[in-house]
Amino acid sequence: MPALKPAYFWEAKVELKVKNLAFSLQTKDEGIGATRKRIFSAEWIRDGKVVFNPSQRVAGWLRKQLPLLRSSYKEQVNALKVFPADGSLWEPIAEAKELIGSDSPPEDNLEYPEGLAFPHKQHITVSDARGGTRSTTTYWLELPHPILVKVRIMSFARSITPEMVEEALRELGKATGIGDKHSQGHGVFEVKSFKAKQKRLKL
């Protein structure tokens, strides 16, 4: 008996030119009083290189942006898969020393990853689960040059066409980026290539 194959309707090979990517730093405060120190970490640095997961980022972008075009896409967008679908592909895209930030340290008592520029710092106010607000501080570095990322999008959603996805990428990608701090203009992109083909596999 032949093995069953999943039926899918179209797939597209996509190339995006991504600009001004931002990379957030994680922080943890340790110590008491004068010994208190803020410790920084960066999970996106491995062996001195900046790594990035384009399939994970593009999938998240599609889930957030497509329902803005049509509310019915909120559920259907889950049938869009960006490969590798498990998000395991972390690609080296730059040397860590290429990242830029601030000319001075954000604060005195800190333990900072060696070889990195000092991060940008911003105080922001966010809403909490109880309807109130709280203040927090974010830290990030930026990649000054654009990168080219390649992903493969496969659609199992009958009503989401490749033309619609391409148009969303081309138009919304100019204003809303992928990656960290995308709401502040980081990681915006332009579509360099979108090659789609229709497929139908019988079960």
Residue-level pLDDT at 4:
54
CA gyration radius, the chain: 20
**Cα(105)–Cα(203) distance, integer angstroms:** 60
Q: What is the pLDDT of residue 28?
A: 85
**CA-wise closest residue to 38 among 47, 28, 48, 46:** 28
Which residue, 133, 131, 106, is CA-closest to 117?
106
175 vs 18, 95, 182, CA distance in Å? Answer: 12, 27, 9
One-letter amino acid of 155 = S
C-alpha 171/C-alpha 167 separation (Å) is: 6
**Could you write out the three-class secondary structure of the chain?**
CCCCCCCCCEEEEEEEEECCCEEECEEEEECCHHHCEEEEECCCEECCEEEECHHHHHHHHHHHHHHHHCCCHHHHHHHEEEECCCCCCCEEEEEHHHCECECCCCCCCEECCCCCCECEEEEEEEECCCCCEEEEEEEEEECCCCEEEEEEEEECCCCCCHHHHHHHHHHHCCCCCCCECHHHCCCCEEEEEEEEEECCCCC
Q: What is the pLDDT of residue 203?
A: 45
Domain boundaries, the chain: 10-196
Q: In this predicted structure, what is the pLDDT of residue 168?
A: 94
Cα–Cα distance measured from residue 162 to residue 168, given in angstroms and rounded to the nearest whole number: 10
Q: Block means of pLDDT (10 residues each) for the chain, length 203 residues?
A: 62 95 89 76 91 93 91 87 75 94 76 82 76 81 95 88 94 93 93 88 50
Enter the pTM of the model: 0.83
